[in-house]
Amino acid sequence: MNTYPHEYESSLQQPESFWLKQAQQLHWFSEPKQGLQRNENGTADWFVDGELNMAFCALDYHVDNGRGEQTALIYDSPVTQTKQTYSYRELREQVAHFAGLLKKHHVKKGDRVVIYMPMIPQAAIAMLACARLGAVHSVVFGGFAPHELAVRIDDARPKVVITASCGVEVDKVIPYKPYVDEAIRLASAPPQRVIVWQREICEAELQTPRDVDWQKALAEVTPAECAVVKATDPLYILYTSGTTGKPKGVVRDTGGYAVALRYSMATVYGVEPGQVMFTASDVGWVVGHSYIVYGPLLTGATTILYEGKPVRTPDGGAFWRVCEEYGVNVLFSAPTAFRAIKKEDPEARFLQLYSLTKLERIYMAGERLDPPTLEWTREMTGKPVYDHWWQTESGWPICANPVGITEYPIKPGSSTLPVPGYDIRILAYDGTELEANQQGAVAIKLPLPPGCLTTIWGDDARFNAGYLREFPGYYSSGDGGYKDDDGYVFIMGRTDDVINVAGHRLSTGEMEEILAMDPAVAECAVIGVADELKGQVPVGLVIVKDGVTITSQVLSQRLVQRVRDEIGAVACLRQVHVVPRLPKTRSGKILRRLLRQLADGDSQVTIPSTIDDPGCVDELREQLSR
């Protein structure tokens, strides 16, 4: 039966009753009677009178209801040759104990805790322990450099930082603890404590009394109980790239998020309690928060925490091995991961070594799913492959194929239909609504459904300016796209200075700020250019100051290193061109679109009539093609 149209309509027409009904899927300490309440930001608070605890819903509830011995989490680490499973009971015990340790160090409801960890189970345990206490976690992706960590520490002002002695990237051991030490040195609001999980592969040096050895300290603590938190209390802050160097701390509430995740697990992913979900991402990204940790556990499913890559750990069969070994039902990763597999194993020979009988569906998000990657994955695996679109801000899918209620035909290039709760409109830049097949700004009519960001941490003004002011009455997504005659949504790319590199969201504005700090640089631009594997990679263009004698090669290397040191290896800025001029409008604005077209080798470049100096175009084309 085609139930999606009805469900979608009722989610928009009667949002309160629709979501209150979904809320019944969870265990509340105090069940909400009120759905939605407008707040001073012009957005909505969900379930204001509800009380719950996220870790209770994710763990204790299942232990109390017969799932204690079921596997909750599987840790698979090809980089350290480790495999471990945790039942719901074991995970609850470890979380409660670690929460006891946090409590001993005076962490309480509302305190912030920064988590800077590799993909080990202790990352999830740390998150869930914070949730158990009602503390607000902020996970920082391990690929970020100390400076980025310091910026986040200063913004979130955590009482405690939790880290591990090291991460392992394929065959490189990356010591995390020295990065934390350096970040704390740079930070103006250092934490009182650093709790360190020591990995055998590389033990960290601890500084007493600030640093605490996780394993040793646990012996002396008693487990902590779940705190009662309001649905509107923040569960976490997750920093994401905006258009400037200052990352935005997306604030996620507890109740709305829990309800949205539980709903999405059934509606979007079709995952039932007891099934196995393998989300190959990182807990440092929103995908990891929602579908490695909270979504599967809220559902009573089994989640896989994978410390490896799609390739090189040890080969392009890595994902397929995990799928066979643990009977994975749903696999989710970024298109770039499948492009990497396709590049290493175009004929999918490794795939033939494994049985994917249990695998029902493959999901991709984080960047546009290009039709060739969709086709290849579908053809090689024989499984349906779904594109779905969402953002750190939304916390869960905005557009998807709602397979749990009605499965729609797939159209390559489209993330299918708006998920119930999201009223998606395509707007012209003056705010008028566009018709089918016309491309414009993708906006969501307010109110946003449960689960979406409630504000930017400590900065309501930035939240309003960044998302709500452009189109009054709408949330502005920052993405451009269109809807076709059947209402399918096609997301075509960002309309701001945010780029997507290997499924990681980065700010070109931030990279420009770093390049501009170099004493030799007079002016610069960073653009995202198309890359076969990573989707996009950043490329820098700089003009040197008059009188500077440094060679282009030396300057270029210095700038690449500067960005790596400041942002981290994940920035992937590998090319900086020293150019004599940059194309600008007569009013002095750099023509970035033109630069992108030139760098992509686009033969159909249209030179804007507003250009100040048309002569620079051929010169740049030649230089960028080298």
Query: Interface mask (CB under 6 A) for ligand COA, residues 154-193, using x and -?
Result: -------------x-x----x-------------------
Residue nearest to ligand COA (CB): 503
User: Contact between 163 and ligand AMP (CB under 6 A)?
Assistant: no
Question: Which tokens in the block code for residue 423?
Answer: 């009223």
The entry of ligand COA, ligand AMP, none that residue 336 binds, CB within 5 to 8 Å by partner kind: ligand COA
Interaction pattern, residues 370-399, with ligand AMP; x per rule: CB under 6 A: -----------------xxxxxx-------
Residues 6+ apart with CB under 8 A from 68: 62, 87, 88, 89, 92
Looking at the Cβ atoms of 240 and 254, the one nearer to ligand AMP is 240
> CB under 6 A: which stretch of 25-33, 80-88, 325-333, 366-374 binds ligand AMP?
366-374
Q: What is the DSSP letter of 385?
A: E
Binding part of the chain for ligand COA, among 277-285, 376-384, 477-485, 601-609 by CB under 6 A, reads 277-285
- Non-local (6+) Cβ contacts of 309 within 8 A are 170, 318, 337, 340
Binding site partner of 240, from ligand COA, ligand AMP, none, Cβ cut-off 5-8 A by kind:
ligand AMP
478 near ligand AMP, rule: CB under 6 A: yes
Phi and psi dihedrals of 460, rounded to 5? Answer: -60, -35
Look at residues 460, 494, 417 and name the one whose alpha carbon lies nearest to residue 12: 417
570, interface contact from ligand COA, ligand AMP, none, CB < 5-8 Å by kind: ligand COA
Site string for ligand AMP, 214-243 (x = CB under 6 A): --------------------------x---
Classify 270 in phi/psi space as left (phi over 0), alpha (psi -120 to 50) or beta.
left
User: What is the gyration radius of the CA atoms in the chain, in angstroms?
Assistant: 24
Q: Does 313 bind ligand COA (CB under 6 A)?
A: no
Q: Which of ligand COA, ligand AMP, none is residue 142 near (CB under 5 to 8 Å by kind)?
A: ligand COA
Residue choice 367, 497, 510, 518 for contact with ligand AMP (CB under 6 A):
367
β partners of residue 147: none
Q: Using H for helix, E for strand and C for coil, what is the string for 72-83?
A: EEEEEECCCCEE
**Angle made by CA atoms 600, 603, 605, in degrees to the nearest 5:** 85
Stretch that binds ligand COA, among 33-41, 316-324, 441-449, 568-576 (CB under 6 A): 568-576
> Minimum CB separation from ligand AMP for residue 500, in Å?
5
d(CA 570, CA 621): 27
Segment interacting with ligand COA (CB under 6 A) among 64-72, 74-82, 295-303, 333-341: 333-341
Residue that is written with structure tokens 């605490």 in the block = 212
Distance CA 259, CA 46 (A): 10
Which of 143, 397, 418, 449 binds ligand COA (CB under 6 A)? It is: 143
CB–CB of 440/434 below 8 Å? yes
- Asked if 443 touches ligand COA (CB under 6 A), the answer is no
3-state SS class at 66: helix
Helix (H) or strand (E) holding 259: helix 255-267
The torsion angles phi and psi of 248, rounded to 5 degrees, stand at -95, 125
On the CB side of 452, CA atoms within 13 Å amount to: 24
- How crowded is residue 608: how many other Cβ atoms within 10 Å of its Cβ? 11
Contact residue for ligand AMP among 369, 544, 573, 576 (CB under 6 A): 369
Q: Work out the angle at residue 547's Cα, subtended by the Cα atoms of residues 542 and 552, and round it to the nearest 5 degrees.
A: 40
- Token readout for 176 is 């995390």
Closest CA to 126 of 164, 153, 157, 152: 164
479 binds, among ligand AMP, ligand COA, none (CB under 5 to 8 A by kind): ligand AMP
Nearer to ligand COA, 28 or 396 (CB): 396
Given 15, 50, 234, 310, the residue binding ligand COA (CB under 6 A): 310
Site for ligand COA in 466-505 (CB under 6 A): 502-503
Positions in the binding site for ligand AMP (CB under 6 A):
240, 286, 365-369, 387-392, 415, 478-479, 491, 494, 500, 505
- Residues in contact with ligand COA by the rule CB under 6 A: 118, 142-143, 167, 169, 174, 281-282, 285, 287, 309-311, 333-334, 336-337, 340, 366, 502-503, 569-570, 572
